[in-house]
Amino acid sequence: MIYALTLSLITSALRTIGHIICMHIRPASNRFRSMIKSYLISLPFILLIYKTHILEPSMPDILGSYPPKLILFHAYLFDLMIFLLFVECFFHIERSVTLRILVELLNSGNSDSNDLQTHYSTEDMVRQRLAVLEVNNFIYKTNDSWFLKPKGKFFAVAMKISSWLFQSASQHDRTE
């Protein structure tokens, strides 16, 4: 088990470092797609590290008791979970409006709400997100009006169901 977890942690660390370096050298327009690509590229690494027996001298006792198939199963599962955690944390940092407000306050010192709204206005926020949604094929524009593409419609219906399940309000309905 520890061997499987070590395999996945090493692979995850290599993938994350590689991804961050790549995004500094040549930032991808679609970061989610680039993360998926990096995950798929990193998949053989677990098998490669396992087959080359690099880690074996450091944990011989543990190796003796665990079947290879089970080691690889746990290594791949845990690697997937860490990958999902990285993707989630990435979007928390990138998309969070609250974190953006805090960073704006950090950069500008004390500000009133008008200053904040000037630096980071709702109008800019909406226009920026609409541009992202258009690039990612969720929506399209005709005669100055926005419409949903099938992908956008699927997510909108799914959100309606999810809002009912959790009895939650969306951002435009929320006032407190």
Q: Is 74 in the site for other proteins (CB under 8 A)?
A: yes
38-76 in b/e form (b: 16+ CB < 10 A) is: bbeebeebbeebbeeeeeeeeeeebbeeeeeeebbebbb
Please identify, among the stretches 23-31, 38-46, 52-60, the one whose residues bind other proteins according to the rule CB under 8 A: 23-31
The site map against other proteins for 38-67 (x = CB under 8 A) is: ------------------------x--xxx
Residues numbered 138-157 forming contacts with other proteins, rule: CB under 8 A: 138-139, 142-148, 152-153, 155-157
CA torsion 103-109-112-118 (nearest 10°) is -60
Q: How far is CA 115 from the centre of its chain?
A: 30
Indicate which single residue of 58, 91, 118, 135 sits in contact with other proteins (rule: CB under 8 A): 91
81 binds other proteins per the rule CB under 8 A: yes
Shortest distance, CB of residue 158 to other proteins, whole angstroms? 8
Report the site for other proteins in 102-131 (rule: CB under 8 A).
102-107, 109-113, 115-117, 120, 122-123, 125-127, 129-130
Please tell me the distance from the alpha carbon of residue 81 to that of residue 110, in angstroms, as a whole number: 40
C-beta of 31 vs 47, nearer to other proteins = 31
CA distance 117 to 123: 9
Tokens of 112: 């009133």
In whole angstroms, what is the distance from residue 162 CA to residue 94 CA? Answer: 23
Among residues 34 and 45, whose Cβ is nearest to other proteins? 34
